[in-house]
Structure 1
């Protein structure tokens, strides 16, 4: 039986670690795989003239697998009624299954086998993802979800950066077409990180409906279905991801062909560092603000500053301009990663949180996948004007941010309890 209380529940620092550490392991394995291990394995297997095609197909298969698996596993997790919980089984099984799948990637001697094992790794990792996402809805009171989400984002960023660096250093020593010790170390380290984080989570997670004792808000008690405006939030998230996907995918070519930088790869690397540092600096403050003033105003601000930062690309003419552009883009992404995820968590059903988190992730990945099609438009439009395709795509990116802001503006009463509590404290 749920009770209504005006008291403000709290979490200890160790609770934040327990709720977030699996994100470190999941990011370690998926990011190092996508950015380092798979491209190097493609070089081992693919003909030189087809390496980009092979990698593109491989990446698409992995993304499609993630999109399909997450809602299915979320649905099954929500319906699971085992004595040891409804989230733990999927987290444990997914992490354990990743071990032979990662070994399979190391053993792959032909492209078909590499595609199959890549899909299996994505299936295993995403078997755990939706149940892991739903834990916040299960166990964290609404007024603390922003901070928990920001902690998870920091953990994920830490796992991604750490293991991209480690696997990159190891694979630099790897000799193409040879199954050497460097390849196996690169495969084993992120695999070990995921298993270690899984064990920590399985031991510390109190996997019942509400692992922490807290009083749900009256609106949450009465609402077992998702928020009626949840589809509008997903639509906004889709456009945010379209914009982010365009920037992530085509910035290198834009810097080379439009800005005419001599070393676009180095410039992109510096831009990525600036964006990454800005994101990390924004995560915790954005999470705290999201809990205090609500998610919606932060998301609207994020969209506006993201659109403004994108428009600045039209005026970039040197490396300094590019570096400065990274600051508003980092702020926009950092806020979206916290306030957006917290708002999604607030709005999903209390009865089917993992399933609806899976649907949300499917929509967000769909936005990212849609952005990948922009390359076709760039090449087609460039044939009709000097760099016309790039300028049109940057414009689409800026407009996508603003469409997201408009859709967020249509959502009412997204976090009434948190806003009311904040006003009462003033």
Structure 2
């Protein structure tokens, strides 16, 4: 039984105007465009620690699906590599689509003295590391499908609660900066993963295990050095099966800003990954690069330079001027127009130029889109669940893009990927303009 000194989600009174909001009051009454209680160890520490935390996860997303997994599949059955990669990535990505909202639902309801997010961040990274180790020793298509699916599920159980840290603990006025630092960790991880991953093309199993260890260490340290408010005295609302089945649905009529933010991210990610997700095969089969390992590190560095420049500028600048949408629009235009270059000039030099420009655009997007997303969340009671739904817009393209791109490649060749990427990226820009909760 709950005593008067133990407020619940249902009974917690609203905060008085001008009074600091407590953790319980915040969860009971706030939405994404409300300021949360201050972090226990301070905001500056949290701002900087999000970089290695995201780095630990996105090194894996950069190294495995784009570099190590295609190489492993090529060694297993080179004549059927495109079809096999399509099978493995499609099943794995579908699992990730289901995993992150479910992880968010569980995280939102977790009662722990370490808070609602920390247990899942650590356990997800531990389970993911074990799954990566299994993938390292998989010697059949079925084994690779099972192991990669478990990798996707496990790391999404860590990534979903980690993404809820922004609306949980970061004030509105600093979310652009936080998103920029988060984006640096994300993109440096993704690109660094591709660079480092290319160094393990001759020892794929060792690469998997090293990335697993890095992720577990960085995420555990993030939790240790950035403790959250206890959630022991926060009583979740009663579980109802109907509510659980609604996990994957946010009413677009009731929450139109959420719908448009989701749509914009979905379109741009699908356009981007339809092209970049096939980089390994584009290099070998479209551009005629005999040894991709010699150029992938260079491409990663070019993209990283573009991303860092735009990310460092865009996030803090969006905080300063109080606007997010112009940056989203500009990033989508950069990504879309960059894809024209290799379409008209199928050379490695053209691909390098595209990599830099699209990296600049995608860095701008990552620096601002995360902050915009945090402001359209309906309720603090379900931040992690709703962000899990939002992140479907990032993970669903990993399902759609290989399927769509694989069909295009098999039908008309790699040249057909670029017009699709251009159109989807630019449509993603226009989708953010109807959003009213952010300028």
Structure 2 length as normaliser, TM-score?
Answer: 0.76
CA distance in 1 between counterparts of 2:283 and 2:66 reads 20
State the shift of 1:141 in Å.
Answer: 0.5
State the shift of 1:94 in Å.
Answer: 0.9
Quick one: which of 291, 315, 318 aligns to 1:287?
315
Q: What is aligned with 1:94? A: 124
Deviations 1:148-196 (A, max 9, x none): 1111222233334445444543442x3xxxxxxx73x323321211121
Contact 2:101 2:386 in 1 (8 A): yes
**Kindly tell me: are residues 379 and 146 of structure 1, through their superposed partners in 2, closer, same or farther at Cα, counting changes over 3 Å?**
same
Q: What is aligned with 2:45? A: 14
**Kindly tell me: are residues 241 and 43 of structure 1, through their superposed partners in 2, closer, same or farther at Cα, counting changes over 3 Å?**
closer
Quick one: which of 407, 410, 415 aligns to 1:376?
407
Does residue 208 (structure 1) correspond to residue 238 (structure 2)? The answer is no
Stretch moving more, 71-80 or 109-118: 109-118
State the shift of 1:326 in Å.
Answer: 3.8
Stretch moving more, 82-91 or 106-115: 106-115
Does residue 346 (structure 1) correspond to residue 406 (structure 2)? The answer is no
Contact 2:101 2:388 in 1 (8 A): yes
CA distance in 1 between counterparts of 2:171 and 2:16 reads 13
Q: What is aligned with 2:28? A: none
Which of the pair is proportionally richer in helix? 1
Q: Which 5+ residue runs of structure 2 have no aligned equivalent?
A: 1-14, 21-34, 232-251
Contact 2:179 2:371 in 1 (8 A): yes
Q: What is aligned with 1:233? A: 261
DSSP 3-state at the match of 2:432 = helix
CA distance in 2 between counterparts of 1:328 and 1:295 reads 20
Contact 1:305 1:332 in 2 (8 A): yes
Q: What is aligned with 2:86? A: 56
Matches within 5 A, 1:228-377: 228-249=256-277, 270-293=298-321, 294-316=323-345, 320-349=349-378, 350-372=380-402, 373-377=404-408
Stretch moving more, 122-131 or 107-116: 107-116
Contact 1:254 1:390 in 2 (8 A): no
**Kindly tell me: are residues 338 and 297 of structure 1, through their superposed partners in 2, closer, same or farther at Cα, counting changes over 3 Å?**
same
DSSP 3-state at the match of 1:229 = helix
CA distance in 1 between counterparts of 2:278 and 2:62 reads 19
**Kindly tell me: are residues 307 and 98 of structure 1, through their superposed partners in 2, closer, same or farther at Cα, counting changes over 3 Å?**
closer
**Kindly tell me: are residues 264 and 304 of structure 1, through their superposed partners in 2, closer, same or farther at Cα, counting changes over 3 Å?**
farther
Contact 1:90 1:127 in 2 (8 A): yes
State the shift of 1:4 in Å.
Answer: 4.5
How many residues align structurally? 383
Contact 1:244 1:368 in 2 (8 A): no
Q: What is aligned with 2:217? A: 196
State the shift of 1:90 in Å.
Answer: 0.7
**Kindly tell me: are residues 160 and 271 of structure 1, through their superposed partners in 2, closer, same or farther at Cα, counting changes over 3 Å?**
closer
CA distance in 2 between counterparts of 1:413 and 1:73 reads 26
Q: What is aligned with 2:432? A: 408
Output the aligned Cα RMSD: 3.4
Quick one: which of 380, 390, 399 aligns to 2:415?
390
State the shift of 1:227 in Å.
Answer: 5.0
Structure 1 length as normaliser, TM-score?
Answer: 0.78
Q: Which 5+ residue runs of structure 1 have no aligned equivalent?
A: 175-181, 211-224, 416-426
**Kindly tell me: are residues 192 and 252 of structure 1, through their superposed partners in 2, closer, same or farther at Cα, counting changes over 3 Å?**
closer
CA distance in 2 between counterparts of 1:311 and 1:32 reads 26
Contact 2:114 2:227 in 1 (8 A): no
**Kindly tell me: are residues 311 and 264 of structure 1, through their superposed partners in 2, closer, same or farther at Cα, counting changes over 3 Å?**
farther
